[in-house]
Structure 1
Amino acid sequence: MSDNTFDLVIRARQCLLDGELRGATIGVRDGVVAAIGELDEEFTGAGSVTIPDDHLLLPGMIDTHVHINDPGRADWEGFETATKAALQGGYTTLVDMPLNSLPSTVSVDALETKKAAAQGNCYVDMGFWGGAIPGNEADLEPLHRAGVFGFKCFLADSGVPEFPPLDAAQLRDHLEEIARIGSLMIVHAEDPETLAAAPSVGGRAYSDFLASRPDESEVAAIALLIDAVRATGARAHILHLSSAKALPQIRAAKADGLALTVETCPHYLSFDADTIRDGSTAHKCCPPIRDQANQDLLWEALRDGTIDCVVSDHSPSTAELKQLDVGDFQTAWGGVSSIQVAFTAVWTAARERGFEFADVVRWMCERPAQIVGMTGKGSIAVGNSADLIEFAPDELWTVDADALEHKNKISAYDGVQLTGRRYSTWLRGTAIDTSAPAGAFVRR
């Protein structure tokens, strides 16, 4: 085979390369990007695709924060439905959270149980997080060697009894072990004492729910985490940052050179507390969606790099648990189902604020891969996996929850008009769709 002959050749007038859209020809061989040439480069291939001029060729998105809940709670979601939704939404790789499934992924045996449930049911590539709970320090190194991308812990109640939180001393013990083995701790940062002291009033009023999860809970928990990172030298990642009041201490910690990274989520960037209808428990999540001024500051933190990435935190449940008919924010399950719309939702909001496509792809593809140590993915580059999507950036459509691939047809985005739609997806250079699972396991 000559150097200019490939398994697949894709030509695109707008291809995202090194942070800019330009004309390019991509040559794919053996599942990886083997060559990148100019738009008129004389590449030949067994297959050839030309992307329409008004569409973009992008790397497949990477979501490192997804709750699939399988096995054990597959009636909430499952590998088949979650990965079909991800494929439709422009993702080619997911990393599954260690809780809400039964068993939780807190040992190698539990990881093997999780992988057995996923085997043959994934339409995109799938990796896994391990869990850090009281008493499982000895399980961290074996899970690390088994390929998990790091370890998740809670500092407050997780919502499920089999995944208890770490107190301050346990957090330090786990971080010392994580520093020793060279792994990463990802942290749900809300402070239990602050939450316990906050007013807790059941009912349909979103304002009451918001008051029950105050900014101070995030500020206090993140301060605790920063002190623990400083003391142990471990790497840590703050999950689903919702409160802008925590940004000053995060900026200071990063300026001090601490190994700290931060994510936020599409729902914090798309919705605000003042416009959430009372009783709309599809919008309930923890930490909560806060006000418009807070959202503006999150966007500024993305602009200046204080927040590193945007992930879905796709956290589905059954309609019964969401209590859609009752609308009680205190008793409804907390979580936003969004994997199929997350990428488009962020692009819709970002373009209105003057961001470019390169920004969104950096937040939702490149940086997630870098943070978790996922090599060979995250950008269109020679030697990287040929995980690619064709995307129409200007196409308008309205979300219909009933038409989503999610197992439970619940979405905070139901009825919302978005801009941008995925058309085609290639995983390791092969065109994929929802007719047959083609995903593989990926590891650290």
Structure 2
Amino acid sequence: MLDPFGEGARRIIEGEFGGVEELLKVIPSYTGLDEVLERIKWLESGEVPEEVLEVDDVRDLLTFYALLGALAFSPYGLEMELVKEASVRLYSLRIEKSGALAEEVHGIERASESEIPRRDRTILERTNYRELSEEEKRRLKLAYKVHLSRFLPLWDGSLKEVYIRGGYAYLTMEDALKLWKRSFERNFERAVNLLYEVRDELPNFYRELYERLGQLAREHFKEKIKKLGNAKAGPLRFDLFPPCVKIALGGVPSGLRNYAITVLLTSFLSYARLCPNPPRRDVRVKDCVESLDVLEKEILPIIIEAGNRCKPPLFEDQPHEIKNIWYHLGFGLTDKPTLEDSGNSTWYFPPNCSKIRANAPELCKPDRDCRNIKNPLTYYLRKLYLESRRGNQGEEQDGSEGAEVTGDE
């Protein structure tokens, strides 16, 4: 089995197609929407068609990356949850069928018999237990190893559950598969996040595929849709903001004021509140709202307060900067806009992290969640998504626990 994020896949993508972006450009010439969606549709029945399970490596890469391209239009929504679930189950089935784990992902290697002292292996694998079945012996065998530098970030259990020797964690097939799944999910989210930045350059094929995925996702998650849902306009969650935005909200010194308030804060707050997952980059405010109430009563006061916290206060020092705020919101250079003015200038999208580092490095103080993030809005989308997923899982656990108590009574 070729793991789509492994070294073998990278060699094919780079060597035969010239990179992921080039691959995405040519995929529509190699495959169709229906073939790609076959990777997902089987979830309804739970049975993977033989032609999907046994597809050749290159064909598999093409259809998998086609799905990633579609998810660039909604990086943290039901569509991603659907594709991730189907992909993890599909690749897990292939691993189980082959009886071996790909050794090219996240440093997972085969462990030789000689690496573990016989006494330790006898205890851990219970080799003297004659009553054990062959299946149980295979289950207990420490067949894989992973260096601790790669193992620790992914392992969420106790280290007492793992045999560690010489800087490596030695794993059974079951534990190695768990580690692979966590690595796969991280790589999956990272890949979708990176493609979010190039979605405007993708062929229309991917937007059509995304719309078809949306239909499948709404059906598959119909019981959860009210709890998870896609990122939509709603009250701002200040606790989920990225560090650069929090710094800007706290006020900045003179040299940073215009960039922090007018460029970063204005664009981030407006998109995060009105259109957190814009369908395209040339969207206008009037495409998202029916009046200016939210802008005037919620967003502008926050921007003005942040400007007043600057030293010296931005709008006392530069009162004309209010016009610039409206200009960056897409209303042209005015301080008395109407909804009809929306589109007179560009509604500026939040600058990428690379631009913030280059133009205002003092704002860029990454936390652990900034890893693999290329835009502050993507950071916020991801945090919203993780919050909704945790909330949904908590409700499901509460419900199941309640059912058990009722049954006992």
TM-score by length of 1: 0.24
Quick check: which one's strand share is greater?
Answer: 1
Larger Rg: 2
Quick check: which one's helix share is greater?
Answer: 2
Higher relative contact order (CA 8 A, sep 6+): 1
TM-score by length of 2: 0.25
